[in-house]
Amino acid sequence: MKGDGWKEKMFMALTLVATLAGITILSALLALTFYEAVNWIDVQFLTSPPSRFPDRAGIYPSIVGTIMSMILVGVFSVPLGVGAAIYLEEYGRRSRFKQILEINISNLAAVPSIVYGLLGLGLFVSTLHIGAGSILAGSLTLSLLILPTVIVSSQEAIRAVPDSLREASIGLGASKWQTIRNVVLPSSIPGILTGVILSLSRAIGETAPLIMIGAATTIFTAPKSIFSTYSPLPMQIFMWTDMPKEEFLHGLAPAAIIVLLAIMLSMNALAIYLRNHYRKKLWG
Amino acid sequence: MNSSKKVTESLIKTVLLICTLLTVFVTFSIIYILLSESATFFLSVSPVEFFTGMKWTPTIKPYAYGVLPLVSGTLMITIGSALIAIPAGLLSAIYLSEYASERVRNILKPMLEILAGVPTVVYGFFAFAYITPFLKNLVPDLQAYNALSASIVVGIMIIPIVASISEDAIRAVPRSLREAGYALGARKPRVILTIVIPSALSGIIASFILGISRAIGETMAVTIAAGRTPRLANILNPADWTKSIETMTAAMVELGLSDVSGHSLAYKSLFAIGFTLFLMTLALNTVSYFVKMKYREVYR
C-alpha cells in the first residue's frame, strides 16, 4: 500500500502542475513584456503620434480613438442588451420562443470575431455606407460582437432579484413596467454594470473584426468625430510587431501592450469594486 | 389600470421585444451576407475548385482559389493547440474540483480566467517576440514564423475554456457516486479516473469541442506568429511545424489589409472563407451544445 500512496501524491502533483503551467508561462511572458516596456512608457509615448522613428513614436491618436469607440460601444450595446435581457427574463418566461431565442444568443456568442468583421463590412460599410474604418463603423461592429455577453450577464443580474420584491411591488398596485423600472432594475444595476464593463474590456482588445471593416493600421492625428478613421490600440500593436526595426518589436509594441493591459485591468478592477460595493449596500 | 397606462405598458413590451429580436436579425444578417457574397464568388470559381484546390493565390497572378492550404494550416494550429489545452485543461479541472480547497480555488480560478482575457494580438506578440526565439535554442531549424509557437499560445489561451466547462461537469457528478467508490476501497486517483471522469464524460467532451472551435476561429495570434504563407502542410511531418503556414483566418486578415476592391474575386473569396469558417464553428458548437445537454439531464 505504500507504493499506492506515492502514486496518489504524484497524480495530485500532476494536476496541480497542469493548473499552474499556463498561469506561470503567462506571468513569465508578462514580466518580459513589462521589462522591455519600462524604458519606453513615458509622457512622450502617451502624447505623441506614431512615427517611423522609434524615439518619437507614441500612441496618442490610438488612445483617443479607442476611448471614443468604447463610449460608443457602451451607448449602443447597453440599452439593446439590457432591453433584450428584461424581455427574456420578465416577459418571456418559460416559453418555447424564449428557448429558441436563447439558443440563438449562445450561438452568436460562439461566432468567431472575424466573422463579425465580415458582418460589419457587409452591413455597415457596404450597405449603410458608414465610412470604412470609421469609429462609428468599428463601434457598431463591436457592439454586435459583445451583445450576446451583455444580454447573458444582464439576464443573470435580473434573475438574481428575488421574486418577493416583484410581488411586493405588484401587490401595491404597480404595473409590470413600473415594477421593472422601480424595483427590478435598481437592484440589478450593479450586476448589469459589472457584466457591461467586463464585456467592454474584452471589446477593447479585439483586432480582427476591425481589420475587416478597414480600420487604419496607423493614423497620425487624433480622430475628431465619430466619422473619422481610427487605429485601435491593438491595431497599432499589430503594426509594430510587423516592423523591421528591432525597437518596434522589443520596445514600442511591449509599451503599447502594457498600456492596453493597464486599461483592461483598471476596467476589471472597477467591475469588481462595483460588484462588491453594491452587494454590501443591497444585501446588508 | 386606465387605458393610457395600458398603451404605455404594451408599447414598452414591444420595444423590449424588438431589442430581443435584434439578435435574430444579427444571425440572419450574418448568414445573408456570407451566403450572398459567397454565391457570387462561386459563380466564378466552382466549389470543386475552391474546396479541392491546392493553391491559394487570390491576389497574385495566376489567381488560384484553392482553400486546402488554408485548411491544412488551420488544422495544424487546431491539433497543436488541442494537444496542449486538452490535457492541461482537464487536469486543471480535476485539481480545481477534487483537490483544491475553496480558498485556493477562489484564487486559482480567476487567475486561470485571465489567460482567456488577454487580447489575442498580445498572444501573437508573445509567440513571435519571446517563444520563437526561446524555442530556437531547442529547434535550430525553426523559422521566425512557424506553426509550433502559434499552436503553443493558442493552446494556452484556450485552457480556461476546457478547464471551466470540464469543472462544471465534474462538479455535477453526485457525491454518492464517489462515496460508493471509496466504500469499495478505491483511493482518490482511482475514484477520479474510473468513476468521476467517466460520469462527467459528455460535459468534458463538450468542453474539448468548444475549445477546438475557438482555436479554429482564432485570428490575431496565428496571423502574427504563424505568418502568412499559404502552403499545403503535412501535419504528420515534424519539419512542417517549424515553418510558416497560413490559416483561414490569417488569409482573411491578409485580404482585409490589402486594398482589394469590392467587386474583385479576391474580395468575394473573403466571404467564401468566412462562410466555411462559420459553418465549421457552428457545427462544432451545435454538437457541443447537444453533448452538454446530455450530461445535464442525467443528474438533474
Of A8, A23, A87, the CB nearest to B17: A87
pLDDT > 70? residue A284:
no
Of B94, B224, B289, the CB nearest to A15: B94
What is residue A96's predicted lDDT score, i.e. its pLDDT?
Answer: 87
- Of residues B277 and A214, more confidence is placed in B277
Q: Which residue of B has its CA nearest to A26?
A: B115
What ipTM does this complex have? Answer: 0.92
pLDDT > 70? residue A183:
yes
What is residue A95's predicted lDDT score, i.e. its pLDDT?
Answer: 83
Is the CB of A84 less than 8 angstroms away from the CB of B23?
yes
Mean of the per-residue pLDDT values of chain B: 92
Is the CB of B8 less than 8 angstroms away from the CB of A177?
yes
Q: What is the pTM of this model?
A: 0.92
User: Sorting pLDDT into bands at 50, 70 and 90, what band is A281?
Assistant: low
pLDDT > 60? residue B231:
yes
CA dist B286 and B284 (Å) reads 5
pLDDT > 80? residue A4:
no
CA distances from B254 to B109, B246, B259, B279 (A): 36, 10, 10, 21
pLDDT > 50? residue B120:
yes
pLDDT > 70? residue B295:
no
> Which chain B residues touch A83 with a CB distance below 8 Å?
15-16, 18-20
User: Sorting pLDDT into bands at 50, 70 and 90, what band is B296?
Assistant: low
- The pLDDT of B247-254, averaged and rounded, is 95
- Residue of A269, A67, A109, A254 lying closest to B114 (CA atoms): A269
Is the CB of B19 less than 8 angstroms away from the CB of A84?
yes
Is the CB of A264 less than 8 angstroms away from the CB of B22?
no
pLDDT > 90? residue B42:
yes
Which residues, in sequence order, are bridge partners of residue B65? B56
Give yes or no for a cis peptide into B62 (omega within 30° of 0).
yes
Is the CB of B12 less than 8 angstroms away from the CB of A111?
no
Which residues, in sequence order, are bridge partners of residue B57? B64
pLDDT by residue (tens digit) across A112-154?
999 999 999 999 999 999 988 999 999 999 999 999 999 999 9
Is the CB of A84 less than 8 angstroms away from the CB of B16?
yes
pLDDT > 90? residue A184:
yes
pLDDT by residue (tens digit) across A72-106?
999 999 999 999 999 999 998 778 889 899 999 99
B 172-211 residues with CB below 8 A of A?
187-189, 192, 210
- The pLDDT of B269-289, averaged and rounded, is 94
What is residue B209's predicted lDDT score, i.e. its pLDDT?
Answer: 95
CA dist B269 and A107 (Å) reads 24
> Which chain A residues touch B226 with a CB distance below 8 Å?
none
pLDDT by residue (tens digit) across A25-60?
999 999 999 999 999 999 999 988 888 888 888 899
- Residue of A86, A275, A276, A278 lying closest to A185 (CA atoms): A86
User: Sorting pLDDT into bands at 50, 70 and 90, what band is B158?
Assistant: very high
| HEC per residue, chain B | CCHHHHHHHHHHHHHHHHHHHHHHHHHHHHHHHHHHHHHHHHHHCCHHHHHHCCCEECCCCCCEECCHHHHHHHHHHHHHHHHHHHHHHHHHHHHHHHHCCHHHHHHHHHHHHHHHHCCHHHHHHHHHHHHHHHHHCCCCCCCCCCHHHHHHHHHHHHHHHHHHHHHHHHHCCCHHHHHHHHHCCCCHHHHHHHHHHHHCHHHHHHHHHHHHHHHHHCCHHHHHHHCCCCCCCCCCCHHHHCCCCCCHHHHHHHHHHCCCCCCCHHHHHHHHHHHHHHHHHHHHHHHHHHHHHHHHHHCC
> Pairing relation of β-strands B64-65 and B56-57?
antiparallel
What is residue B298's predicted lDDT score, i.e. its pLDDT?
Answer: 60
- The pLDDT of A7-21, averaged and rounded, is 93
